[in-house]
Every structure is written in structure tokens, then in C-alpha cells.
Chains A and B, each alone.
Chain A
């Protein structure tokens, strides 16, 4: 291979190297969410009620305990699972039963879910049960106009009255 041809080939290969770096560092462009969709993000962390009610210890039971441990009420550590159901425009969108965290199942139940939906006006209804009876004690709904790409966060905070629709 003569010198000029070699230099030309070297330049061509360096250009190809640069072009490959330049192209694949950005392209092809990735469509993370289709252009006509919005995103619902369900996220909360909630400690449910105990799995069973507290009971009073009998005098015999108390007597067996060390003096400093003689507490009348015996409450279970384990919590009930949290059940959540989300409906959109009257149709089920998502449901989950989240177990409490921890080896003793005494921690909070945490849920995160990413739910792409078609953009537009939607009515959302959210229900949550956090007791051993499985009864939905928290129910909320909201009608929201979601622009394409817009994020709706469905959060839950019992201290603030239950579900919150943040968008």
C-alpha cells in the first residue's frame, strides 16, 4: 500500500472511529414513553393496622413475666397487608396486595408502580384497605386532564386524609 493511500485509509478509519462514537453516544433516539401517553406513578409507604387486635393478659400470664415486663396488653407486632385498587374511567388500572416489610412483618408496606396511560381527561378512583378485615377504608377519586408526557403521582398519606393526586 503506498504512503498516500495509507494516510488516506488512516484518516478514514479515524473518522469512522469518531463517527461511531459520535453517533452511538446519542443515536438512535429512544422513545421512552409514546408521544400520546401520560404517566401515572403510584407510590406510597404506609404502615397498616396490626394483623389482630390486642388482648389482655391473664393474671397467671402476667405472673410468669418478669416484674418489669408485666404489661397488661399483648399486641401482635405483625401488620396486615395493604390492598390497593386503582380504577381509571371505571375500569381496573392496577391492583396490588403489598406485604409489610421486615422479618416480623411489622414494617410499612411500600408500593411503586409506573403506569403509562393514554393522555387526556380521566377519572381515577383509588381504594386502600389496611386492616385484617380487608375492608377498603380509604377511597378517593379525581378527574384529571393529563397532557401527553405529564406525570400524575398517586400518593397515600393517612395523616392527610388518604390518597393524594399530585400533577
Chain B
């Protein structure tokens, strides 16, 4: 039954989405921005309400007269604001109900989505309470109807037990203080709405709280035109408790329950409203229970991050939750903004508008991240449009100006951008070298962001590879390369006071160099520890540089760790796995930030051990992964910093 209902709802929304996209275009389709439109309408209500409140007087006679004044005398401003206030409130209910309906029909309220659903139901009732309270203020016949009916309804609750209505039983029983109380409530409740709305959106990754500007302006324009065509008027003169309300123009967006209260006993209406509320609140846990499926992992490029995707979670939501800045707009499979390439694995493509993902594109491996859910571990690649700090990702051409062989398998390459400045980037980010056939190879910036002249890369030789042998054997000063960047969300967080532990494996040293030099340049006072793990002494390809940093900054300490020292190394320093050295030195990691850069194997071994020592998930940053990966071997190889073949 529920499934049938949901299918019917999905069909309806899907068709409406298609129609509205044809009319408004995919970016201005109001059905894709229902939540944001509700938010916007809320702000319109708040602002227009403040204008009306400036004219409103709190008194039995004054309340009615002041509202009449703005409606009749000040119609051209405050009167319009009164109407906009009313119609925006109605529009908010409409968009909220559609927003709620959409998530219900598409079954987006179970599991981890329960929080948004439950807080949304609370918002809905707070909005209703605010709106109904607002109808009491003008003290016209509608206000009388709403106030008396509310008192009658609430009087059936044991806490009132018939005493509340005594305040509205005789003409003259109401005094000025009632309007101070009502005004107070009418300010307090909307503040509650805004607070719960804020909470409601906190758990939604990448939630948009403003619709596109054009849509907002057109919506506001429609409200103003409606206010001019059908201005809101007070009804039937001032409230008169000696005369019953007979015929009344009800706002059916807010007051259908008040009509029911005239036909049903108040207790029956309580049962109905209370029952519906309880059902709505319990909906995420009601049957039919979905069988819990295994969660999957996603390798996402170009960030080179491995992210867990929860059961039923859209790939886009998982990416946004982990701060991967995938471009998106409609989140409903209706605009194509989040189109990406599926490199590995299987997905359920979900519901989407065929115009934005053609069969041919599907055949080429394209998916819409906002509509698809994984059926296995997956690997996807998207085209970034922005990086942290909104630094634009762009394709640059650079010339090789210097090359130094740092060790038997590491080449230091300096690039200078042609005809333009070195792109701005964050310490720790990387670039993709574009090969002639469109393939990409990732390398971290080894230079700090303040060094504007050259870009330093540290490239490790991968025998048999496609690119690195070229660097070692054929590349020469004067060659040009094309690259895309800056990329990645692995960069130094400067908004913390916690000591930093850098964990570098092999050429994972490159982004660490960028971060440490940036930190020293900007006068970081935080303690910094660098643990550089390599196999043998010859792999410490810039052995003197960390010592230089120690001399420049008393906050910096360097610990080299060799996993397989050779006899000729005569090594007397730390040995073993690099993360074990850290664990030995830091029995409690709860007050540290860790930046791990190295092979998948290194970070895979280190992360659970760090977590066991109290490290917070929020304080561990890695370009390699966050969760134990189960992706294809090739994919895992790709995250190795310093690049692949």
C-alpha cells in the first residue's frame, strides 16, 4: 500500500519535474528548490512582519484600528507588507508541504535521514502555531473566530479544563494585555522556527538555504502582484464577543483544523492532530522495514579520497558530507550538474530526467551522482568547478625550468607557468598533469603557497609506468607540460590550536614540505612533528631540509623512521613502521591533528591505530583515504602521493 502510494507520488513528481524543467529550465525549476524556497519565504515573512509590527498597536481597540490604518491609509506600503506577510506565510506552508511530500514519496526519511525528517515535522508545527497566532492579532471577526476556537480547543486539555474560555466569554472580557502577550508569542514562535530550521539543515550535507536569485525575485514579485490584486483585508469589523461568527473567509493553508473544530468535538480533533503528529514523527521507523544493506565505499577523483556511502545514501550526499566539493544544483536528477564518470563498480541509477543523462551517456559510464546509489564499491570521477577558498580550477601550461635528481628514484621538477602567474593554492593541494591522450597523473605541490615563482614537484619513478619513466629518461629543461589545478581538499587547517603530527611516507613528503614551509613562513606557533617513514637511508631524498626547518622554528621536530635500514646505512635512529613510532611517542592522540600522506597501505595501517589512541575523526586529514578501501587495486595505486606511472 505504502509502496503503491510512493510510486504514485514519485510518478507525479517526476512528471511535474520534467514539465517544470521544460518551462523554467533545469536551474530555475522551483520543484528542485522547495526547501530553499521555504527558507526564503520564511525570511520574507520575517521582514514584512517587522514592517507591519512597526505600525501595530497592542490594545483592544488599537490593534484593530492600527491594522485598519495600514490596510486603508497606508495601503501603498504597510498595507502591501501586510498582504505579502500573509501570502508569504501561505506560500511557505505550500512549499514546505511539497518539500515534505517529495521526501516522503521518494522514501528519503528513513535510516540516517530521520533527523531531518523529525526536525522538519517540528518546523511544520511551529510554522502552523506562528501562523495561527498571527491571525489573532488584527482583532477582527476572523481573529475572534480563531481566538475563541483556540480557547475552546485548548480547554479540553486537562491543564486548562474549561478555564481558558472564561477570558473570551463576555464582550469586554478581553483587555489590552492580551495583545502584548500575543505579540510576544508572535515574535517568539518565529524565532523558534528559525532555530529549528537552522538545526534542520545542519545535518543535510550541502543544504542550500537560498533559492537561485532569479527564482526568489520572481516569487517575491508574484507575492507583491497578488498583494496589489487582492489585498488582505480585515473581516467583518472589530471582534464582538456578543455576536457569534457565522460566515468567515478561512485561510485554508493554516486553518482547516478550525473548520473541523466546528463540526467535530474538540477532543476528537486532538486525537486526529495528535495521532497524525505522532505518526509523522514515527514515520522513519514504521514498517515496512527496509532490509539493511551493506554500505559501500567510493573512491572519488580528482580528490583521490575514499569515502563510505551509507545504505540508501546518494553518492552526491556522501561526497558532500565528506566535504568533497562536487558541483550540484537540483539534487533531483533533473539538471545534470552533478554528472560524473563511473570508473569502477555498479550503481542503481535512480530516478532522473532522461534529457540530462542520455542512454548514450550511460553507455559511456556517466552517472548523475545526486540520483544514483551504489550497488558495489565504486570509483567515480567528477569535473571540479571550485576548490577550498573558491580558487578556480583551471588548465595551465608550464615550462620545465629546473630538474634535480634527489635520489635513485625521486626527481625534483620545477615548473614555471607560461604567460601567467602561478595559480593560488592551499598548502597540501595537488595538480593533475594532463597527458596527451587525456590521462592524468597527480602530484602534490611541494612548494609553499607564498612562493609564487615556481611550482616544485617531487616525482617518484614507477618502473614500467607511462609518465614517470618519461620524466626520468626524456624530460628536459624547456619542455612544456599541461596541468589542471589546484585540486584536493587535503590542506593545512589553520583554524585549530592543536599540535600537528605530519606522517609522510616516501614522496608523501612533498605536500608536507609545502605545509611546513607555509607554517614557518606564516609564523605558526603550534607544535609540529614530522615523522617521515622510508625504507632505507637512501630514500630520505632531502635529508638536510627537515633539520633546516628545526633551526628555523623551535616548534618543529623531525623524526625519520626507516622500515628496512641497510647495513651500510649505519642507522642508529628509529626503525619500524612510521605509525608505530608515533604510537610509541604519543600514548594519547586526542589533542592532536594528524596529516597523513603516503601509500594506502601506510595510512590503512595507521588510521585504526590512531583512532584507538583517542584521535578524533575530525582531526585526521589524508589525501589517501579515510576508510579502509576495498576498491580495485589500480584505484588504490592511484591515490599514492607522488603520482603513479
Contact = CB atoms under 8 A, between A and B. Distances in A.
Given A30-B248, A32-B245, A6 B169 contact: no
A24 B93 CA distance: 12
A53 interface: no
Interface string B327-340: 00000000000000
Interface string A100-130: 0100000000111010000000000000000
Interface residues of B, number: 43
A28 B226 CA distance: 18
B169 to A, nearest CB: 5
A30 B23 contact: no
Given A14-B222, A32-B246, A153 B166 contact: no
Interface string B354-377: 000000000000000000000000
Contact of B250 (A10, A30, A110): A30
Interface stretch (B68-76, B236-244, B497-505): B236-244
Nearest to B88: A21
B226 A26 contact: no
Nearest to B86: A25
Nearest to A43: B169
A27 B249 contact: yes
A111 B165 CA distance: 10
Interface stretch (A65-73, A84-92, A143-151): A143-151
Nearest to A8: B23
Nearest to A7: B23
Given A14-B222, A26-B251, A32-B247, A151 B23 contact: no
B253 A6 contact: no
Dominant SS among interface residues on chain A = mixed
A32 B162 contact: no
Contacts of B91: 17, 21
Contacts of B244: 32-33, 38-39, 149-151
B290 interface: no
A62 interface: no
A1 B262 CA distance: 49
A14 B218 contact: yes
Given A18-B225, A21-B87, A29 B249 contact: yes
B24 interface: yes
A24 B247 contact: no
Given A22-B226, A26-B251, A32-B246, A6 B94 contact: no
Nearest to A5: B23
Contacts of A101: 161
A35 B246 contact: yes
B170 interface: yes
Contacts of A31: 246-247
A30 B259 contact: yes
Contacts of A1: 22-23
Contacts of A39: 244
Given A18-B225, A26-B251, A13 B23 contact: yes
Given A6-B23, A43-B165, A26 B243 contact: no
B213 to A, nearest CB: 16
Nearest to B22: A1
Interface string A133-167: 00000000000000011110101000000000011
B246 A148 contact: yes
Interface string B87-119: 100110010000000000000000000000000
Contacts of A54: none
Contacts of A150: 242-244
Nearest to A38: B244
A69 B632 CA distance: 87
A42 B115 CA distance: 45
Interface in B226-271: 226, 229-230, 232, 241-253, 259, 262
A166 to B, nearest CB: 6
Contacts of B232: 25
B180 interface: no
B155 interface: yes
B140 interface: no
B128 to A, nearest CB: 15
Contacts of A24: 90, 251-253
A63 to B, nearest CB: 41
B246 A25 contact: no
Given A6-B22, A10-B23, A148-B246, A112 B155 contact: yes
A21 B246 CA distance: 24
A10 B222 CA distance: 12
B445 interface: no
B163 interface: yes
Nearest to A22: B230
Interface in A42-98: 43, 45
Contacts of B23: 1, 6, 9-10, 13
Nearest to B24: A10
B228 to A, nearest CB: 11
B229 A22 contact: yes
Contacts of B86: 25
B145 interface: yes
A112 B152 contact: yes
A120 B248 CA distance: 23
Contacts of A27: 249, 252
Given A21-B226, A22-B226, A43-B162, 19 more contacts: A6-B23, A13-B23, A18-B226, A21-B91, A25-B253, A26-B250, A29-B248, A30-B248, A30-B249, A32-B245, A32-B246, A35-B246, A111-B162, A112-B166, A149-B243, A151-B241, A153-B169, A153-B170, A167-B242
30 contacts: A9-B22, A14-B222, A17-B91, A20-B94, A21-B87, A22-B87, A22-B230, A24-B90, A24-B252, A26-B250, A29-B247, A29-B249, A30-B247, A30-B248, A32-B145, A32-B248, A32-B262, A33-B262, A38-B244, A41-B169, A101-B161, A112-B165, A112-B166, A149-B246, A150-B244, A151-B241, A151-B243, A153-B170, A155-B169, A166-B170
Interface of B: 20, 22-25, 86-87, 90-91, 94, 145, 152, 155, 161-163, 165-166, 169-170, 218, 222-223, 225-226, 229-230, 232, 241-253, 259, 262
Closest 5 CB pairs of A and B: A110-B162, A26-B249, A39-B244, A18-B226, A9-B23
Interface of A: 1, 6, 9-10, 13-14, 17-18, 20-22, 24-35, 38-39, 41, 43, 45, 101, 110-112, 114, 148-151, 153, 155, 166-167
